[in-house]
Amino acid sequence: MTNHDLERMMDTSDEWIVTRTGIRERHIASPEEPTSVLGWRAAQAALADAGLEMDAIDFIVVATNTGDTVFPSTACRVQSQLTQRPVPSVDVQAGCTGWIYGIAMASAMIESGTFRRILVIAADKLSSITDYQDRTTAVLFGDAAGAIVLEGRQQAEHGVLASFLQADGSGGDLLSMPAGGSLLPATHQTVDERLHYLKMNGNDVFRFAVKAMPEAIEEGLRRAGLGVDQIDLLVPHQANQRIIDAAMRRFHLDPSRVTNNIARYGNTSVATIPVALWEARQEGRVKPGDVVVLVAFGAGLTWGSNVIRWGA
Ligand code: COA
């Protein structure tokens, strides 16, 4: 869905969207593709890339904010699409920071010896909760999924060196889907008032983001015992080009050290980071031994980072 497609649907312009956000197009999944199907496809691609079968996987984490249903979890749905063998599976919901939380939790479970190989999936179908009558949010979001296999190895010098996770629920109303949960169960009135769509105070979220991203980068690096000059690749959540630019300016990072694909996908919530990471790998921008910093912020409010020494 391009900006020009949106121009035909609402009072907006390609010029406004590009200038204010950097987004030119986003992808919209079909009605036959709920979040679990996007996640299942990403999981299959990650397994093939790792040269592994599902038999090798001990645990499944799905980061999402747009699960197929309130329950059962989307992770259980993805598990049953991937294999007939029971595998422990759980959803992680942490706004757009869900991928960062998922990686941090999975790597901690591997380090504790609880599991050896964990499939971490990020999948969101934001088009299912986007109000295409609200131009202040409709232009921002798209659908996507990504996945990674995390494996524990003895004496590995590669892997997740440190993570920083943070949350402040007092800002919860700045970005939320108000109805459909136990607080406001679905009624005719909630539907009429369009409360089953994402609502956002864009200006306040913007202000939060430009503070949260640098804090998460600095705190993740501090925990890993590294400095900003040691970052080989920064993979920031793709929410707004201006937020990414602010982080690059703050740390004097050259664009060659920062992934950027917001123009082509928009904000795909939990999936922005794994999609950007996958593209960076395809383009040969991540090499074994590189320090890769993943950083995100989102609904909750939540924010965080993973600092990784890239493996093979
Ligand atoms: N097309 C055209 N005009 C639009 C528009 C659109 N799609 N959306 C809003 N406008 C108008 C507004 O109505 C306003 O008009 P006014 O001045 O006549 O009142 C004007 O553009 C400026 O709106 P404003 O909200 O101040 O724009 P902005 O520069 O702050 O950009 C966001 C808005 C949403 C792009 C920006 O605040 C943002 O990116 N926030 C962070 C959002 C985010 O990251 N969310 C995800 C978190 S995971």
**pLDDT, tens digit, 9 for 90 and up, residues 6-45:** 999 999 999 999 999 999 999 999 999 999 999 999 999 9
* Contact (CB, 8 A) for 37 and 67: no
Catalytic residue among 237, 240, 260, 306: 237
Query: Where do the H-state alpha helices sit in 74-201?
Result: 74-82, 98-111, 135-138, 188-192
* Contact (CB, 8 A) for 157 and 163: no
* Contact (CB, 8 A) for 150 and 103: yes
Catalytic residue among 96, 240, 260, 306: 96
Helices 241-251 + 14-21 axis angle, to 10: 30
Separation of alpha carbons 265 and 286, rounded Å? 21
Which residues are bridge partners to 124 per DSSP? 144
What is the model's pTM?
0.97
Ligand 1 centroid from CA 136, angstroms: 5
Atom of ligand 1 nearest to the CA of 205: 41
pLDDT at 312 over 90: no
Over its C-alpha atoms, the chain yields an Rg (Å, rounded) of 19
Q: What is the pLDDT of residue 311?
A: 86
Is residue 20 within 6 Å of ligand 1 at its C-beta?
A: yes
pLDDT at 156 over 80: no
Q: How sure is the predictor about 189, in pLDDT bands with cuts at 50, 70 and 90?
A: very high
Is residue 132 within 6 Å of ligand 1 at its C-beta?
A: no
Q: What is the pLDDT of residue 101?
A: 98
Q: How sure is the predictor about 155, in pLDDT bands with cuts at 50, 70 and 90?
A: confident
237 carries an active-site annotation: yes
Tokens of 104: 């941090």
Separation of alpha carbons 291 and 94, rounded Å? 24
C-alpha angle with apex 295: 225 to 209, nearest 5 degrees? 120
Q: How sure is the predictor about 162, in pLDDT bands with cuts at 50, 70 and 90?
A: very high
